[in-house]
Structures are given as structure tokens and as C-alpha cells.
Amino acid sequence: MVMKAPLPSPFSGRLSGADASASSGYSSVKPRQGPDASAPESLPEKGEGRGAFMTTRCARPADRPRKRLVLAAMGGAGGMVMLDQTVVAVALQPMALALGLTTAQMHWVVLVYVLSLSSFVPVGGMTTRRYGLLPTFRAGTLLFSASSAVCGFVPAGEGTEVVLCTARAVQGAGAALMLPVATTVVTAVYERHEHGRALSIYAGVAQVFFVGGPVAGALLIHNLGWRSVFWVNLPVGALILWALAKANVTNTVSDRRLHFLEPVLMTVGLACCVTGLYQSGEWGAYDVRTWALLCSGTVLLTASAWRMRSHRPPLLDLRLFGNRDYARAVAVTFLVQAAQLPALVHGTVYLRQRWDLSVLDTGIALLPLVVALAVGTAGSGFLLDRFHSVRLPVLAGLLCATAGMAGWTYLLPWSDYRWYVAPMIVAGFGLGLPIPALSAWMMDAVPARAQADASLLRQTMRQLGGVVGLAGAGAVVLAFGPRAVDAAGVGHTSATRAAFAFLSGVLALATLLSVSPMRRGA
């Protein structure tokens, strides 16, 4: 069997010749031979680098990687990470009642996890290069599981919110160590013509967990209490590590040195910007505290970007944004995530508080959105492999998502839930359709030797989109209904409607960015 991989194959197998030396780690990869052997390190244009794929041959069938087991492990890891972004939404009210949390503290329980995740994804990629796939992934899984246990056992009392938010931040850091490994392994074990279907399954599992979080959380809370939404990560993490061990994945390392200043600047800068954006709804857009945080964060992020551009190897390879197709795909992914995550969080809380639903009834009320998103994600892989173009699933999905979100916004004041079902289905289908296609498009838009860095940058920008979307929607809620928020959380109709209108505009912008022609593998 012949496997084409963007990285030296991390999977076991007896190799011969040059392939044997390539399998020992990134530092052992020999430069390509030919007239371009002395070419500079600058990013190739779109379409170059096809010959950079390495070929490995397994001597026996028993040595072949267990693709389905690898895909199950990586999909489970991605699903667990994405689940914790939304599963807490349905647990916020019982958690707040049990622990005595305020509305702002409830928001930060969700926000701090996504902020930590987006900030530490580059660190996860850096440790993967330095220490290898397996140690990084195992460390992330163990860290994620341990912090989940802390969240599940946090007691009520003084300082509860500090312990809970700290554990959620550590949880996000553990998730960030897992995500850079997952996509790289999936694209490495599957051949290029299988990437569409494999990435569709991987992204589909993550998306179903992401959108199904409120439903899963409702079932867990109804039967086991709110703490179970954190405890469930312990057996899932153990199963992921078991599947990875059975898949015979070997370790690969490089001689890249670790960076410390760039992630510190990036993390503090993001925290300042997100806090300033979120608090602007309460403090006001022209408050000196708002602008102090936003300006400080911008300066720190600029300094971090300058360090990445001027030091080699960079924490994030920002040269990839010179590839127009890749940059546009990343921008669309950023905007989709900026709309999807806050829509789920605010929509879940609103549905519960609008009619004073039980936790289980809230999960049932979200089923149209969840099922539609699962169908959209599954259909994306079929369209991608059938027509070999990202234009159809991306553009069609964004049009549906924008129309569905706008319809949901318009119908939000109506007192009959049945009016919500149709726009929820349209929005869910539209939000699910573009994600796998965008993943395949971004990975095919860059040369083979840049795919690991491209995957890392894509994951970072996607998670960052969720952070910005949550902070922006939260600011809109606070700005349009501060008194109502104090009395009824984010469930006030006028405040939530304003937030949904903001999210509809975000999706409309993503649609405009995706209008021009695109070609998969161009």
C-alpha cells in the first residue's frame, strides 16, 4: 500500500531505503532533489509542492496503519474538545444556583475555556514539533481529563469562581495540545484522494459533538446532575488513549527549539482584547477602560506577530497568509465559528429561560438544530468528493446559515416555539455544510511541506473566531439589555435578538468572502 503524507509518516511499518531514514523524525527528512533543491524557504505559490509528498511502503499487511481506529481516536479527541465549548451552556443555570455565580461569572466559565484553547493551540503545535505527536497528545489528554475532574468536584464557597475558571483555563490548554495533532495525523494516514471523506468524518464527529453539546448536557444533567458534564470526559479520554495505543502510532520529533515569548505575548494580548470587547457592553464603547484594554491587547498581539515574522522557526507561520486562497478560507472559517459558538450558547440559554423549560426539555428543543447540522456535515463530504469543488458546499451552506439565522432573529419575539423550528433547521444545515469543505480546501491550497503549519494556523484562527464571537455577542447582550440581563440572564428577548442580528451580519460577511470562484486542490 502506498500512503502519501504531508509529514514524515508517524505510523509504524518496515521501510527501506530513503523512506527508512525519513521515518525517524522531521529532522531526518532529506531535501528534494532537482533544480529547485536550492530554492529559498519562502512559501510556494498555490499548486506548488505536489512533489514534496513522501512515499512509504509497508512490508506486510500487519504493518499497515489501522486507519479507522486512528480516525476514531482523532475524531473522539476533536469531539471531546468541541463538546466542552457548548455542553456547559445548558449547565450554566443549575451550576450558578449551586455555586452562587453571577451572570458575568457564568459567561466567563464558557469564555475562558475558548480563550485558553485559542491561545495555546500554537503552543500545542510547538510542543508537537519538539517532543513528537504521542507525548504531546497524551499530555493534552491527561491535562484535559484532570482539569475536568477538578471542575466536576469544585465545591461551593468563597473563591469558587476562581477555582472553576482556572480549571476551565487548564482544560482549554490541554485541548490545545490535542488539536494540532489530530488533523495532521488524519491527513498523514489517508491518501490525498481520500482526504475529502476522511476530513469530513473527522470534522463531522467534532461538529456533532460541538452542536450536540447542549443536548448531551441536558441528558446528563437530567439523570446525573450538572457535575456529570465534566465527569464524562474521564472515560472518553481513557478510550481515546487506548485507541491511539492500539493504532501503533510511533513518535516523531524535530530539533526545533521552543518559543516562550511569543505565546506569552499572544495569550496576554488576546485576553486584553477579549476582555475589553466583552466589557464594552457594560462599561460603554467610549469608556477609558475599554480602550485601554483594546489598545494594550493590540500592541501585544502586534509584538507577537512581529516576533513570529522575524524569528525562525516561527510559532505560527504567518507567511501562509500570502496564499490568497488559504487566507480567504481561514477568514471564512473564523467568521463561521464566530457565529456558530455564540448562537449555540445564547440560543440554549434563551430557549430555557423563554419558557422556563427543564434541562431535558431544553435539549429536546435544540434537536432540530443538532440534527440539521449533522446532516449538513455528512453531506459536505459527499459533495466534496463528488464534484471536487468547495464552492458548492461552502457557498450553499453560508447562504442557508445566513438566511436561517436571520429568520430565527426575526421570529425570536414570537411566543410559539414551532415558529423557530424551520429557521433552526436551515441555520443548522447551513452551518454544518461548509466546515469539512473548508478543511479540505485549506489543506489542499498549500504545498505539502507547509501542511503541518497550515493546520496549526487554521486551528488557531478557528478557535479565535469562537472567542471573538462570544465576546462580541456578549457585549451586544449587555449593551442592549443591561437591566434585563441582571434580572433574567441572557434570556431576555430584546438582548438575545440583538445578539442574533449581530451573528447574522457575521455570517453575511462570510458569505461575501466566499462568493468569488474557488477550486479544490487548485
Q: In 3D, which of 157, 462, 464, 211 has the Cα closest to residue 347?
A: 211
List Cβ neighbours of 219 (8 Å cut-off, separation of 6 or more): 360, 363
What is the C-alpha to C-alpha distance for residues 317 and 312, in angstroms, rounded to an integer? 9
Question: What integer pLDDT is reported at residue 521 of this predicted model?
Answer: 43
CB atoms within 10 A of CB 329: 29
Summarised one tens digit per residue, pLDDT across range 94-114 is 888 889 888 778 888 888 998
Question: What integer pLDDT is reported at residue 382 of this predicted model?
Answer: 76
Cβ contact 461:454 at 8 Å:
no
Summarised one tens digit per residue, pLDDT across range 352-408 is 877 778 888 888 888 898 888 878 877 887 777 777 777 788 899 999 999 999 999
Cβ contact 209:151 at 8 Å:
no
Summarised one tens digit per residue, pLDDT across range 239-296 is 888 887 776 665 555 555 666 788 888 889 988 998 888 888 778 888 899 999 999 9
Cβ contact 118:270 at 8 Å:
yes
Strand partners, 130: none
- With residue 214 as reference, give the H or E element that holds it: helix 195-224
Q: Cell numbers at residue 403, please?
A: 438566511
What is the C-alpha to C-alpha distance for residues 8 and 188, in angstroms, rounded to an integer? 8
In the three-class reduction of DSSP (H, G, I as helix; E, B as strand; rest coil), residue 321 is classed as helix
List Cβ neighbours of 242 (8 Å cut-off, separation of 6 or more): none
The 3-state DSSP composition of the chain as helix, strand, coil percent (nearest 5) reads 75, 0, 20
Which amino acid appears at position 311 of this protein? H
Q: In 3D, which of 479, 445, 442 has the Cα closest to residue 459?
A: 442
What is the C-alpha to C-alpha distance for residues 140 and 131, in angstroms, rounded to an integer? 13
Weakest-pLDDT range from 33-42, 301-310, 437-446: 33-42
- With residue 3 as reference, give the H or E element that holds it: strand 2-5
Summarised one tens digit per residue, pLDDT across range 124-143 is 777 877 787 778 888 999 99
Domain ranges (residues) in the chain: 1-23+52-64, 67-259+311-513, 260-310
- With residue 118 as reference, give the H or E element that holds it: helix 103-131
Q: What is the mean pLDDT of residues 69-75?
A: 84
Weakest-pLDDT range from 200-209, 226-235, 463-472, 483-492: 483-492
What is the C-alpha to C-alpha distance for residues 77 and 83, in angstroms, rounded to an integer? 10
- Whether the predicted pLDDT of 25 surpasses 60: no
At residue 479's C-alpha, the angle toward residues 101 and 420, to 5°, is 80
Cβ contact 307:500 at 8 Å:
no
Cβ contact 124:140 at 8 Å:
yes
Q: Percentage of the chain with pLDDT > 70?
A: 81
- CATH architecture assignment, domain 67-259+311-513: Up-down Bundle (1.20)
3-class DSSP string for 471-518: HHHHHHHHHHCHHHHHHHHHHCHHHHHHHHHHHHHHHHHHHHHCCCCC
The full DSSP string for 254-306 is --PPP--HHHHHHHHHHHHHHHHHHHHHHH-TT-HHHHHHHHHHHHHHHHHHH
* CA-to-CA separations, 107 to 111, 304, 432, in angstroms, rounded: 6, 27, 25
